[in-house]
Amino acid sequence: MKKILVILTLFIGLFLPANADNIMPVSIDRNDIRTLGLYQIPKNITLYTKPDETSEVINDIKWSATDIFPEGVRFKDLFVVFIPSKELGYCAVTDETDDWVEIIYNNRTGETAWIKKDDPYKFLTWINFYNTYGRKYGLYVLKGAPDEIKKIQSSPDYMAQVLSEMNLPTKIKLNVIRGNWALVSVLDLDRSPKTGYIRWRGDDGTRYLFPDIK
């Protein structure tokens, strides 16, 4: 009986599609500072060399929660954020017009292409993206972030009083963003609540924290 159950489990596992893994930024990326924000792409996109439907087509891409076509295109190369359970995928945007966005379609090489917007409200500047998702889900610290972001200060100013420091934060609640600063409420591993301003982004555009989308 036990052998039959094992075989049945393996059989089901082979034929049932499995969702792709979540894709979220892990560490800071100084090469990505040229981006303006993120665009939530539809499940079918055509990549053009220019923001013009008569321009050369680079590729046609189709994706779902479990698959992406054509072969050779990888979820982690296309998406900055991908949550298959929500069928939610965001690509980095390097330029935009009223009707088009230029996206990075290969995160390994930095190659870009234009896609036509299916909805203008799906483009979010970085601040709008953080306000939308950071306030809902909170933030997490990216690997490689400088130690200075651990300082919780009384106002969004380098010279402001340091109220406390983050040690091992279990939760970072975003309240509001002001420029490169974020007003946060932090719960550390010692369960002590701390509120104040931290740097979520450097002056050069490098992001140190990211919305903890689930």
Question: For the structural domain made of 127-211, what CATH number should be given?
Answer: 2.30.30
CB count within 10 Å of CB 130 equals: 22
- How confident is the model at residue 7, as a pLDDT? 40
> CATH 2.30.30 spans which residues of the chain?
127-211
The token duo for 101 is 């966005």
- How confident is the model at residue 141, as a pLDDT? 96
Q: What is the mean pLDDT of the chain?
A: 90
- How confident is the model at residue 56, as a pLDDT? 98
CA-closest candidate to residue 40, choices 129, 131, 110: 129
Mean pLDDT of 35-49: 97
**Per-residue pLDDT tens digits for 4-23:** 443 434 333 433 344 579 99
Show the beta-strand stretches assigned E in 68-204. 68-69, 81-83, 88-96, 100-106, 111-116, 123-125, 139-141, 151-153, 162-165, 169-178, 181-188, 193-199
- How confident is the model at residue 31, as a pLDDT? 65
DSSP three-state, residue 33: coil
40 has pLDDT over 70:
yes
207 has pLDDT over 80:
yes
106 has pLDDT over 60:
yes
66 has pLDDT over 80:
yes
- Give 190's pLDDT tier (boundaries 50, 70, 90): confident
